Structure 1
Amino acid sequence: MDTANSQSSKNSDNPNITLLARHSSYSATAALSAPEATASDTHSDATFGQAVLLATAQLRACDINGKQHVLRVLFDSGSHSSFITEACVQRLQLAKRRSEVIVSGIGCSKGKVKGETSLLLTPMEGTETFPLSAFVLTKLTESLPATKIHSSKWPHIEGLKLADPQYYLPARIDLIIGSDEMYSLLETEVIKGPPNTPIAQKTVFGWVLFGKLTTLDKSNNTSPCIYSDRDLTKAVIKAWTLDELPETRYFTTEETRCENLFETTHRRNTQGRFIVHLPFRENIKLGDSRAIAIQCWLRMERRLELNNEHREQYHAFLQDMLDQGHMEPASNVPSSNYYMPRFAKNYKRPVA
């Protein structure tokens, strides 16, 4: 392979760092399947021996006990935000913060994130740490690359310290670094080789490889296209809607009657207290209560005959109720009315 075609570029705005399949009809970003919030969509490359390599890296992250774990990271310039799998959050025992962000993807599919978390990333060789905040999703994408890449050696990348030495083997993606953090981790050096060979981009973690390439495997390859976007406007509107009271409330017949009774009868007296009529249900059958009330009254009268003082007090109380108009003698009362038994509360059984 002719190494004379290799060139180094210092232009950090090189369009080749878009890191995604340019031959795809999709935008460069990660699809979600609601309600699982899974970020994955694929399409087939119709050309034999063609594959698209996405920029991946292997990094270290510590859990809450200080134990280091290796994460496989995908650099995605088409994603507005960074994302991490829920399994990785549990493995690192990271604390999650509540988030109402809605993520939309290819085909306008939408899903809600499962929270937000923060972590520190460290290169495989080195001690410098890089803080990152990421939204939590159940799944980000399928294993990358889709199939094992079989290819001859590419002279223009020989000797480079790769961020992912096993870039050619399919493996799960634990973390997507989106445009919100990716450009602060990229460096200006870019190395291009001949057509259909990977492009090398230098990062703080090492060199990453990406681009369309020819492989020795003539199987039909599959390349994931990833899209992520935060629809913050709709998230804020949804939060406002949940906090606001409903504009229209529908009352039942009884609730409407109680509401009307309150509006027509409530008033405030001179002491500042509110007075309102009590609502009573109509056509309620309570059974024959007159006979029971008479029996209770006669029994109480027999007990009061044993204590003249209490009998006089009770009769004086009844007379006061009549004088103030709180009660009146009943005449021609229908048997369907309810009769409440009367008791003398201060009655004490005499001591023998």
Structure 2
Amino acid sequence: MDYHPLTKCDPFLSLEPPQRHVFIKQHRLCFNCFARSHGVGRCPSKINCRVCGKRHHTLVHFGNATTPSPSNEAPLAPGNQEGTIPSPVTMMTNLSCQKVVLFVTCLVSVSDKSGRLVTCRALLDSSSQASFVTDSFAKKLELPRSLSPTPIQALNQMLTSALGKVALGVTPSQRKSPALHIEALVIPSICDKVPYQVIDKQNLKHLRSLPLADPHFCKPNEIDVLLGAEVYGDICLPGFRKGQNGGPCAFRTIFGWVVLGKVNSLEPSSLFSFYTTVSTAVDVSLKRFWELESVPSKTFMSPEDKLCRYVVSLPFKEKHPSLGESYLQALRRFQLLEARLAKNPTLRLAYNEFLRDYWEQGHMALVSDLPPSPQGYYIPHHAVWKPHSEPLELRVVFDASAKTSNGRSLNDLLFTGPKLQSDIGGI
């Protein structure tokens, strides 16, 4: 594993400040020093942002109030920040008590971890800059998930972030071709059931002879996948059928014919609006975060607190303890751990981050005296985590009870000390 500070991590440095902010928040790091062991309110570092002086790292500062810009570039106009391509608004509006607007839905198949085709319901959206998949469906597919700190902007500049990113192979329902290979952002939910009301299709005679991509388009059902503008052109095929008297029209796709437009509803109607865009620009809601999370730039410590910083030696029972050889056992358990982490990229990433934090805080250092010294003790370690937590909650356990070649462990040679809590019978 390659341990290096986050300040020297090229993938992290290539992100925009808002993306770095999301990354740090997802991994529960300190916004000031990037450590995992504490939050920004308890950060011992006396260094603040060099741009604004507030209690966060300079790498996650954003805003144009005091941020210098290159002299050979003109400042960008508000709402037109570099790297931002705003998507058109995708909106469904219903002002009549008997009319509703259909979204474009279809049944598709997605390959799971073993290559088996799983049928799901997809929403086609030419206004979305990215494709999405629900967290529940991604877990059902059991596909490997990678980190994706991309901010997702919604209507009224509301901001959220993805739970990760997965590679999907999408084909027409229960067919293996044609296939679309996309990277989809994982989010908890795409939308409510679509359509939002039961549709009256008795008067849709112009659709009866068409092989529909979603035969049950008139009934509310869950949406598992959203296919965005990046693949929209690969989905559409020649073929269009116009609706009668302002009714819904249909066009042909690789999945079959899809339906969209106004149609009669069998239930009272409501008003719904949607807007989806993936943005790397500075967002107003992120600026508000600093206003809410900012703490005093100076940490005050009492004289007693300043004196409570000390280092003690291990309390050995013997003056010259004898430990056997421990390197080979620790190496063997480390190799087993590596094989286990190789099968779970998410767990491996969290494990690396935990150890990187240990290294950055000075709790461990690179061993250079190989072959190993017989005087040392090599502690095996392993992970304990909650498999369904988001983000992954993990801690590393160091097994100082592991026996060496002479049958003794490090814990065997140390005093345990007095009990800090009374027995139940003595309370």
1:27 equivalent in alignment to 2:89: yes
Aligned residues: 213
| Aligned counterpart for 1:149 among listed residues 199, 208, 218 | 199
| Aligned counterpart for 1:117 among listed residues 141, 147, 166 | 166
| Pairing of 1:289-328 with structure 2 (within 5 A) | none
Residues 104 and 110 in structure 1, CA contact (< 8 A), matched pair in contact too: yes
Q: Unaligned 5+ residue runs, structure 1?
A: 1-25, 30-41, 239-247, 259-352
CA displacement 1:239-266 (0-9 Å, x = unmatched) = xxxxxxxxx7768587xx99xxxxxxxx
What's the counterpart of residue 350 of structure 1? none
Residues 102 and 234 in structure 1, CA contact (< 8 A), matched pair in contact too: no
| Pairing of 1:213-228 with structure 2 (within 5 A) | 213-215=263-265, 217=266, 219-222=267-270, 224-228=272-276
Q: CA deviation at 1:190?
A: 1.9
| Pairing of 1:198-213 with structure 2 (within 5 A) | 198-213=248-263
Q: Bigger radius of gyration, 1 or 2? A: 1
CA displacement 1:90-140 (0-9 Å, x = unmatched) = 000111110111111112211011111111112125321221211010011
| Pairing of 1:1-352 with structure 2 (within 5 A) | 27-28=89-90, 45-124=94-173, 126-128=175-177, 129-215=179-265, 217=266, 219-222=267-270, 224-234=272-282
Distance 1:224 1:94, change over 3 A: farther
Separation in 1, partners of 2:236, 2:223: 19
> Aligned-residue CA RMSD in angstroms?
3.3
Residues 146 and 223 in structure 1, CA contact (< 8 A), matched pair in contact too: no
Separation in 2, partners of 1:170, 1:201: 21
What's the counterpart of residue 51 of structure 2? none
What's the counterpart of residue 50 of structure 2? none
Q: CA deviation at 1:196?
A: 2.9
Aligned to 1:156, the other structure's residue is in SS state helix
Distance 1:84 1:157, change over 3 A: same
Residues 64 and 92 in structure 1, CA contact (< 8 A), matched pair in contact too: yes
- TM-score, normalization: structure 1? 0.54
Distance 1:81 1:49, change over 3 A: same
Q: CA deviation at 1:48?
A: 2.7
Aligned to 1:183, the other structure's residue is in SS state helix
Distance 1:142 1:197, change over 3 A: same
CA displacement 1:20-66 (0-9 Å, x = unmatched) = xxxxxx9216xxxxxxxxxxxx86x3313211111100011121123
Residues 63 and 94 in structure 1, CA contact (< 8 A), matched pair in contact too: yes
CA displacement 1:196-218 (0-9 Å, x = unmatched) = 31111111111110011234x2x
Q: Unaligned 5+ residue runs, structure 2?
A: 1-87, 287-296, 308-427
Separation in 2, partners of 1:89, 1:111: 18
Q: CA deviation at 1:220?
A: 1.8
Separation in 1, partners of 2:271, 2:182: 27
Aligned to 1:72, the other structure's residue is in SS state strand
Separation in 2, partners of 1:223, 1:178: 23
Q: CA deviation at 1:87?
A: 0.2
Separation in 1, partners of 2:263, 2:218: 12
What's the counterpart of residue 361 of structure 2? none
* Structure with more relative contact order (C-alpha pairs < 8 Å, separation 6 or more): 1
Separation in 1, partners of 2:298, 2:169: 50
Separation in 1, partners of 2:114, 2:270: 39
Separation in 1, partners of 2:215, 2:272: 20
Distance 1:224 1:73, change over 3 A: farther
Residues 141 and 224 in structure 1, CA contact (< 8 A), matched pair in contact too: no
Separation in 1, partners of 2:174, 2:251: 18
CA displacement 1:69-96 (0-9 Å, x = unmatched) = 1110001122111111000000001111
Amino acid at match of 1:188: P
Amino acid at match of 2:169: L
Aligned to 2:140, the other structure's residue is in SS state helix
Residues 75 and 177 in structure 1, CA contact (< 8 A), matched pair in contact too: yes
Residues 51 and 223 in structure 1, CA contact (< 8 A), matched pair in contact too: no
Q: CA deviation at 1:160?
A: 1.1
Amino acid at match of 1:127: K
Separation in 2, partners of 1:250, 1:111: 31
Separation in 1, partners of 2:176, 2:230: 23
Residues 150 and 161 in structure 2, CA contact (< 8 A), matched pair in contact too: yes
